[in-house]
Structure 1
Amino acid sequence: MSAPVVVTVRLIRSFEHRNFKPLVYPEVSLDQRVQDFIQMVREDVETRSGLPPPFRKHSYDTMKIIHHAHGAKTNELVMSLDDDEKLILRSDQTLRAAGVASETEVAFFRKEDYEAYKANPRTSW
């Protein structure tokens, strides 16, 4: 078992309106399964004080790696629409096997919203 790492989770409520909020998780075990991490984050989001209700009540179901520490960032303001096969975390994998490392930032969003935005990537203000 390895030492816990820091992972930032970007809650994405709306791709179109660029509505997101980052949360930092300082004690994440890379040996846990993605589905367990998703459940832990969901439970935290639902009860976390200081988060507006629209973020707490949103039905997040998918995680995707945005970037790794010291890696290049995308020009997209919310997250990249590329490399889904490689970057979307599969629930049966461990975080380590899915490519998560220390100081990785992952997006947490509703897949249905992402697919709709990807088909028509327009933003509104």
Structure 2
Amino acid sequence: MSSEAVLTVRLVRSFEHRNFKPVVLRGVNLDQKVEDFIAFVKNDVSTRSGLPPPFKKFDYDTMKIIHQAHGAKTNELVMSLEDDEKLILRNGLDLRSCGIANETELAFFKMADYEKYKANPQTVW
């Protein structure tokens, strides 16, 4: 089984405004720890050309699996509000043991924003 994968990380700046940008990462080592991957993505995003500055400077701190290759997709526009205990990545585990495989799609967001939105899931137009 390959330890390198292509992952899509959806940078979520606002749940209410459905403000997100997908970033594709190639050659991701699935044996690295969650906290190392989060640090890698933060660094990649801060230096990536073509991303608007608000996305580069945002204080992301949590990742959650949105979709796995060949799995069912959610109807939620930004990400599902279900199964947090299963789908939110926990520090100390490696990506593979969190259920991440090639072509997994993840959301990267600020936990405080998510909890606020989850308590009152209203979108603003």
Give the TM-score taking structure 1 as reference length: 0.98
Q: Distance in 2 between matches of 1:31 and 1:56?
A: 26
Give 1:58-77 correspondences, 5 Å limit. 58-77=58-77
Matching residue of 2:114: 114
Q: Do the aligned residues in 1 keep the contact of 2:3 with 2:31 (CA within 8 Å)? A: no
1:23 matched to 2:29? The reply is no
Aligned to 2:86: 86
Distance 2:71 2:100 in 1: 13
Identity level (%): 70
In the aligned structure 2, how far is the partner of 1:33 from the partner of 1:71? 24
What's the CA shift string for 1:15-58, capped at 9, x where partnerless?
00000000001100110000000000000111111100110010
**Superposed CA offset, 1:49-92 (max 9, x none):** 11001100100000000010011100000000000000000011
Work out whether 1:10 is the aligned partner of 2:20. Answer: no
Distance 1:112 1:3 in 2: 32
The structure 1 segments of at least 4 consecutive aligned residues displaced by more than 3 Å after TM superposition are: none
- Where does residue 98 of structure 2 map in the other structure? 98
Q: Would you say 1:49 and 2:49 are equivalent positions?
A: yes
Between Structure 1 and Structure 2, how many residues are aligned? 125
DSSP 3-state at the match of 1:106: strand
- Name the CA distance, whole Å, in 2 between partners of 1:2 and 1:22: 23
Unaligned runs of 5+ in 1: none
Query: Aligned-pair distance for 1:11?
Result: 0.3
Q: Separation in 2 of the partners of 1:13 and 1:50? A: 16
* 1:3 positional shift: 3.5
